[in-house]
Amino acid sequence: MASVPSVSYSITVRLEVPAGGRAVSQITHVVENAGGIVTALDVNTAGHETLRIDVTIATRDTQHAEAISGALEGIEAVKIHKVSDRTFLMHLGGKIEMQSKVPLRNRDELSMAYTPGVARVSLAIARNPEDVRRLTIKRNSVAVVTDGSAVLGLGNIGPEAALPVMEGKAALFKRFAGIDAWPICLDTQDTDEIVRTVQILAPAFGGINLEDISAPRCFEVERRLRELLDIPVFHDDQHGTAICVLAALTNALRVVGKDIGSVRITMAGAGAAGSAILKLLMHAGARDVVVCDYRGAVHKGRDDLDESLGWIADHTNAAGYAGDLCGAVKDADVFIGVSAPGILTGADIATMNKDAIVFALANPEPEVAPDEAREHAAVVATGRSDYPNQINNVLAFPGVFRGLLDAQADVVTLDMLAAAAAALAEVVMPEEIGPNYIIPSVFHPDVATRVAGAVREAAGGRPRTEA
């Protein structure tokens, strides 16, 4: 699938051009001919002979940006001063910072915020440890923990390279839920070291958000931390994705008039996200599911079943289908992909049942080209922002943690995740639901508050069916 110009690859080119003549119109013409899009053109300085202008251009990728810069350089009498990648400019010096909530304007304020006054607060917490949530940032803080082993779609790129992603995550926590989140990038991929490190850091936080840790290690890390800690542990790659998928599927099924308990669901991907989606869908009533990985359908007769795949084999594929993904998609009502790009074609989607639902969530290239899927499916969703129905985890995790922190929850349960999904689905009003609107925008003002309220209410009863 050919990529299209995107703001994530936008550049700003500073050019010096003659004050008169057709230079400006030539610039726009050259950019458009090269497949770019001019999104802004600003005069930086003006003189009698020359103008210095900043041209902002959306491009497809780094190579495309370089090609456009070269084309601009070829315009007669136009001189390039510099080319700035706007995404890199945003990241200069990092995207987050710590700010004091209290003024420190004089000696009195300093003596209360720090020594000697702070000693009284410390002694009060030592006498009553429960006061730590009332008197410190613990009540509103989350650790975003990664080992850099499965970052976005980039793979095992390490803790330093993971830091910009974790910073972004922390920024989203603050923007959408007012939560103070801190990137914790660990220079180890040893399960025991990860668990122990998070355990000894936990007293400063009200929750742990595990992020971009590769499967199957992530399952053990999460399980052990849940046993050790008295604060909620949430693996966003699993549970955030699962919440968004269930919410979107709830509304997609309303569009086509089908019920989750009677549809046939085929899934591609049996890793962290796929396993969590499966468990939440089954908790919500799904009964007929076949899960495929790179070897084909997961079934009891396979000789490579680890603990996670064994659970999938025991709880799905009752008919024992042992073929490939294309065969599993045939006659299915729903396809959910969290796997790899380009593994299905439009012809495969055509073999699904009438009014099929397709969630092709691999990023940036989906399992099937969305335009091809739309020719045969009633509802199509992706993880991309340039198509309708973007399934994005930012719809879930800020509100989920807001609810968990407000409830002072100590565990994350399937009931909480299901409540979050139901609340997210209900943000889309019944009169708004349609094939191209089954999930709200991440900027919808009600998303985080609705999800938080649902999680807070579900946490009140402390149900113990852990996620």
Q: Tell me the pLDDT tens digit for each residue of 130-156.
A: 999 999 999 999 999 999 999 987 889
pLDDT at 463 exceeding the cut of 50: no
User: Where residue 466 falls among pLDDT bands split at 50, 70, 90?
Assistant: low
pLDDT at 465 exceeding the cut of 60: no
Lateral strand order in the sheet of 207-210: 180-185, 141-146, 207-210, 233-235
Torsion sign, CA atoms 191, 194, 200, 202: negative
Average pLDDT, the chain: 93
**Opening angle at CA 91, ends 174 and 30, nearest 5:** 125
Q: Tell me the pLDDT tens digit for each residue of 58-89.
A: 999 999 999 999 999 888 888 999 999 999 99
Q: How far is CA 356 from CA 87, 339, 381, 435, in A?
A: 37, 19, 12, 11
Distance, CA of 110 to CA of 95 (rounded, Å)? 28
E-strand ranges in 121-177 read: 141-146
Determine the pLDDT at residue 24: 78
Lateral strand order in the sheet of 79-85: 37-46, 50-59, 6-18, 79-85
**Annotated catalytic sites, by residue?**
114, 169
Q: Tell me the pLDDT tens digit for each residue of 351-395.
A: 999 999 999 999 878 999 999 999 999 999 999 888 899 999 999
Domains and CATH numbers, the chain: 6-91 (3.30.70.260), 138-231 (3.40.50.10380), 240-467 (3.40.50.720)
* Amino acid (1-letter code) at residue 280: L
Q: Nearest-CA neighbor of 357 among 259, 237, 283, 239?
A: 259
Determine the pLDDT at residue 215: 83
Q: Nearest-CA neighbor of 403 among 129, 207, 235?
A: 207
Q: Look up the pTM and report it.
A: 0.88
pLDDT at 44 exceeding the cut of 90: no
What mean pLDDT do residues 32-42 have?
A: 91
Determine the pLDDT at residue 461: 47
Determine the pLDDT at residue 361: 95
DSSP string, 42-78: EEEEE-SSEEEEEEEEEESSHHHHHHHHHHHHTSTT-
Q: Nearest-CA neighbor of 357 among 243, 251, 282?
A: 251
Percent of the chain with pLDDT over 90: 83
Run of H or E including 420: helix 414-427
Run of H or E including 15: strand 6-18
**β-pairing verdict for 288-293 and 264-268:** parallel
Q: Nearest-CA neighbor of 248 among 335, 162, 314?
A: 335
Determine the pLDDT at residue 1: 46
CA atoms within 13 A of residue 114's CA, in its CB half-sphere: 7
Which residues, including other chains, have CB under 8 Å from residue 155's CB and lie 6 or more apart? Answer: none
Q: Tell me the pLDDT tens digit for each residue of 327-343.
A: 999 999 999 999 999 99
